[in-house]
Structure 1
Amino acid sequence: MAYTATVIPVMIASPSDVAEERNVIRELIHEWNDINSARSKVMLTPIRWETHTSPELGIRPQDLINQRLLVDCDLLIGVFWTRIGSPTGSEASGTVEEINRHLDAGKPAMIYFSSKPVAPESLDREQYESLKLFKTECMQKGMIESFNDLADFKDKVRRQLAISISSSPYLSSLISSTQNDPDLSASQSIPENNLSDDAVNLLKLACVNEDGSILVLKHLGGTDIQAGNQSFGGRSAREVARWEGALDELISFGLVIGRGSKGQIYDVTHKGWTLFESLKD
C-alpha cells in the first residue's frame, strides 16, 4: 500500500580510504527503511557526492558539493581511517568542511573513526597526523565513536542510527513539522517530481518486461546493474556510483523493494508500476 513519508537526506562524508564503510552506511540506511518506514512514515535517502553530482567548470568542487548536496541534508554520517582527505583551502579537507558546515547549521552528525590495523609503510604520515588533530577536536566536542572492524562498525551504526532518528531534537522537530503540513506531505507523495532522469529511466527499463526486476551483479571487474535488456555500471566506478544512486532513489520512494538479504534483486512495487503507467500517458 502506498503511503506518504517525510524524506530525510543523509550525507555520507568520508575520505577515499573507507569505501567499504561507505557501502555499509548505504546498506544500513536501506535496512532502516525496510524495517521502519511504513510505521514511522519517515524515509531516509543516502546522499553521496559520487552519485549526486555532475562535472561543472567554473566552481570550486567542494562548493558544488556544499551548495548542491550538503545544504539539503538533515543528517550526516562521517567515517575516517588513516586519511583526512585533500585540503580545500579553507579546511583541512572536503570531509572536514562538510562536517563543520553541517554542525554550524545546527544539524546532527554521527562521526566514526576506524581502529582497524594498518601496515605502517602504507601510511601517509602527513594525512595521519592531520587526522589525529581533527579527531582530538571532535573528542573535545564529544561526538565520536570508534570501531574495530566492519562487523563492529555495522552493529554500531545500525543501533545509533535508530537512536539518532528517534532522539535528535532537530530531526524530531523536522519530522513533526513536515508530517503536520498538508502541503509538504502532498509534494512528497508525488515522486515523479523528485526523481532524477536516471531513476526514471531505470524504472521504465525494469517495467519493460513483465518480471519488473532490477539485478545488481557484483564481480571482480566491477558491478553491473541490469534492467530490461540494458546493463549499466560495469568497470567504471563513477558509472557504478551513478546507477547505484538511481537505484537508491527508487528504493527510497518505495518504487522497488529488495528481495532476499544480499541486495542483488529488486522488484518493482505496486507504487512503482502505478507510476510507470502514469509516465506512459
Structure 2
Amino acid sequence: MSYDAKVFNVMVASPGDVLAERAVFREVIHEWNAVNSEVRKVVLLPVGWETHSSPEMGAGPQEIINQQVLHGCDLLVGIFWTRAGTPTTEFASGTIEEIEKHIAAGRLAMLYFSSTPAAMDDVDIGQYQTLKEFKSSCRERGLYESFDSLAEFRNKFSRHLQQKLNAHEMFKSALTDASTSLSVSDFMYPVTPSLTDEAKVLLKEVSQDSYGRISHVRYIGGAALQTNGKNFLGSKERREVARWEDALRQLQDEDLIVERGHKGEVFEITAKGYEVADKIVS
C-alpha cells in the first residue's frame, strides 16, 4: 500500500578511500526506512554525486555537483579516513567544499573520521596532512565522531541518525523548504540487488588490485579478507565477519571471481568480474 510521506535528501560526502563506509551509510538509511518510514511518514533518500549527477558543460565539475546535488541536500554525512579528496578551485578538496558550503547554508552536517590503521606506504602524505588540518579546524566549530571499524561506524551512525530524527527541528517540522511530500509505494524502496553492498565494494576493490586477487585466511582468533591493500575483516565481531564472507561467496556464485587455491584462500577476478566492476560507481 502507498502512503504520503515527507522525503529528505541525505547526502554522503567522502573521498574514494572509504567505499566500505559509503556502503554501510546506505544500508543504515535503507534499514531506517524499512522500520520507521510508514509510521513516521518520513523517507530518507541517500544521495551522492555518483548517483544523482548528470553530464553538463559550462562550469567546473564541483560547481555542477553543487548545483545538481548539494543544493537540494537536507542532511550531509561526511566520512574520512586517510584522504581529503581532490582539490577544487576554492577548497582543499571537493568533499571539504561540499561540507563547508552545506554548513554555510545553515544545514545539518554529521562528520565521521576513521582511525582504522592504514599501511603508511600506501598513504598520500600530502592528502593526510590536508585532512589533519581540516579535522583540526572542525574541533573549534562543533562535534565530530571517530570510529575504528566498520561495525563501530554502523553502530554509531545508526544511533546518531535516530537521535537526529527524534530531536532535530528540521525533521519535526511539518513544512520544510528543502523536502518534498509525495506518495510512497513499495517501489520507492531500493530493490535488493544481485550483489550486496559489501560484495560490490569487494568486487570494485579486487578489480583495482594490481594482481586481481583476494586472499581469505583464517587463523586462531580471527580471519583476514584482503585485496588492493585493504583488510575487510578488521573487526572480530562475528556478524561483521559473516557479512563479508557472504559477499565473497556471492562473487563466487555469480562467477565474478574464481578460486585459485586449494583451501579457499586465494581468489582471482574473472573477465565477467571486471565487466561488472566497471559498471559499479565508486
* TM bracket (short chain): 0.5 to 0.7
CA separation in 1, counterparts of 2:278 and 2:106?
32
Counterpart Cα distance in 1 of 2:75 and 2:31: 17
What percentage of residue pairs aligned between the two structures are identical?
A: 45
Counterpart for residue 276 of structure 1: none
In structure 1, distance between residues paired with 2:101 and 2:39: 32
Shift in Å, 1:3: 0.8
Q: Which amino acid aligns with 2:279?
A: E
SS of aligned partner of 2:155: helix
Residues 5, 184 of structure 2: 8 Å contact kept:
no
Q: In the alignment, is the contact (CA less than 8 A) between 2:112 and 2:147 conserved in 1?
A: yes
Q: Is the 8 A contact 2:13 2:79 kept in 1?
A: yes
The 3-state SS of whatever aligns with 2:280 is helix
Closer, same or farther in 2 for the Cα pair 1:103/1:178, shift >3 Å?
closer
What secondary structure is seen at the aligned counterpart in 1 of 2:4?
A: coil
TM-score, normalised to structure 1's length? Answer: 0.67
Name the CA shift for 1:214/1:127 in 2 (closer, same or farther; >3 Å).
closer
Which residue of the partner structure matches residue 144 of structure 1? 144
Work out whether residues 18 and 79 of structure 1, in 8 Å CA contact, stay in contact via their aligned partners in 2: yes
Residues 151 and 53 from structure 1, CA distance in 2 versus in 1: closer, same or farther, beyond 3 angstroms?
same
- Count residues with an aligned counterpart: 212
- Output the CA distance in 2 between the equivalents of 1:216 and 1:27: 13
Once residues 92 and 79 of structure 1 are traced to their aligned partners in structure 2, the CA distance between those partners, rounded to angstroms, is: 16
Higher helix proportion (structure 1 or 2): 1
Q: Deviations over 1:124-182 (max 9, x none)?
A: 11111110000011111122100011100000000001111121223333xx2159x9x
Q: CA deviation at 1:235?
A: 3.1
Q: Counterparts of 1:8 and 1:59 in 2: how far apart (Å)? A: 27
SS of alignment partner, residue 85 of structure 2: coil
Q: Secondary structure at the match of 1:8?
A: strand
Which runs of 5 or more residues in structure 2 are unaligned? 205-249, 255-272
Partner amino acid, structure 2, of 1:66? N
Q: By how many angstroms is 1:31 displaced?
A: 0.5
Q: Tell me which stretches of 4 or more aligned residues in structure 1 moved more than 2 Å.
A: 54-58, 169-173, 213-224, 233-242
**Structure 1: distance between partners of 2:56 and 2:4:** 34
How many angstroms does 1:64 deviate by? 1.1
Q: How far apart are the structure 2 equivalents of 1:16 and 1:2?
A: 37
State which of 183, 197, 200 in structure 2 corresponds to 1:189.
Answer: 183
Flag the 1:189–1:59 CA change in 2: closer, same or farther, 3 A.
same
Question: Is the aligned partner of 1:117 residue 2:117?
Answer: yes
Q: Give the AA of the match of 2:73.
A: C
Which letter does structure 2 place at the counterpart of 1:92? Answer: A
Question: Counterparts of 1:40 and 1:25 in 2: how far apart (Å)?
Answer: 20
Q: Provide the rounded CA distance (Å) in 1 between the counterparts of 2:203 and 2:32.
A: 30
| Cα deviation code 1:227-262 (max 9, x no counterpart) | xxxxxx9735563349xxxxxxxxxxxxxxxxxxxx
Residues 88 and 48 of structure 1: is their aligned pair in 2 closer, same or farther, counting only changes over 3 Å? same
Corresponding residue of 1:4: 4
TM-score, normalising length: structure 2: 0.67
Q: Answer whether contact 2:75 2:108 (CA < 8 A) is retained.
A: yes
**Pairs within 5 Å for 1:223-262:** 235=275, 237=277, 239-241=279-281
1:119 Cα deviation from its structure 2 partner: 1.1
**Aligned to 2:140, what secondary structure does the other structure show?**
helix
State the partner residue of 1:85.
85
Two-structure CA RMSD over aligned residues (Å): 3.1
Gaps of 5+ in 1: 204-212, 227-232, 243-281
1:177 aligned residue: 175
Find the counterpart in structure 2 of residue 153 from structure 1.
153
Cα shift at 1:44? 0.2
Equivalent in the alignment of 2:57: 57
Kept in 1: contact 2:3–2:184 (CA 8 A):
no
**Is 233-242 or 2-11 further displaced after alignment?**
233-242
What is the distance in 2 between the residues matched to 1:238 and 1:29?
25
Alignment of 1:190-209 (within 5 A): none
C-alpha distance after superposition, 1:11-48 (max 9, x if no partner): 10000100000010000000010111011000001001
